Amino acid sequence: DGSTVGRKRKSRWADEEPNPVVQLPDFMKDFAADLDPEVQALNLRLLEISRLLQSGMPLDDRPEGARSPSPEPIYDNMGIRINTREYRARERLNKERQEIISQLIRRNPAFKPPADYRPPKLQK
């Protein structure tokens, strides 16, 4: 059947049915935000990070050969090194956690951040 050559074949997928535009009452908006797949992905990552931070397991378990060079050591006034690998790994996770929480708040103003969340300081 040569008639179809060169013409775009119609996909077997049905057209995306346009979601019925229903104006949700205000009290439903929080609920709807939770259904957003991106919000769900953020929530999952947040749970994962929280679990890692609380697990007490080594956070940076890369073997010797797979690590990038360490920064210069920083010591506190007792002479104890502050920026250990573990400390830096924890800082990294904490930072990501704060960022995810900020995003969740932006998408859903009713989102209740954990008690230890501090909004990022605005740079002057």
Contact positions toward other proteins, by CB under 8 A? 9, 11-14, 16-17, 37-38, 40-41, 44, 48, 51-52, 57, 59-62, 89, 92-93, 96
Rounded to an integer, what distance in angstroms lies between the CA atom of residue 84 and that of residue 90? 10
Rounded to an integer, what distance in angstroms lies between the CA atom of residue 85 and that of residue 66? 13
In whole angstroms, the minimum distance from the beta carbon of 124 to other proteins comes to 28
Which residue's CB is nearer to other proteins, number 75 or number 91? Answer: 91
Assigned token pair, 104: 């969740």
Partnered with residue 81 across adjacent β-strands are 75
In whole angstroms, the minimum distance from the beta carbon of 92 to other proteins comes to 7
In whole angstroms, the minimum distance from the beta carbon of 104 to other proteins comes to 15
Q: How far apart are the first and last CA of the chain?
A: 69
Which residue's CB is nearer to other proteins, number 35 or number 80? Answer: 35
Which residue's CB is nearer to other proteins, number 44 or number 75? Answer: 44
DSSP class of residue 79?
A: S
Three-class DSSP category at 42: helix
Q: Identify whether the C-beta of residue 50 lies closer than 8 Å to the C-beta of residue 116.
A: no
Which residue's CB is nearer to other proteins, number 37 or number 114? Answer: 37
In whole angstroms, the minimum distance from the beta carbon of 50 to other proteins comes to 12
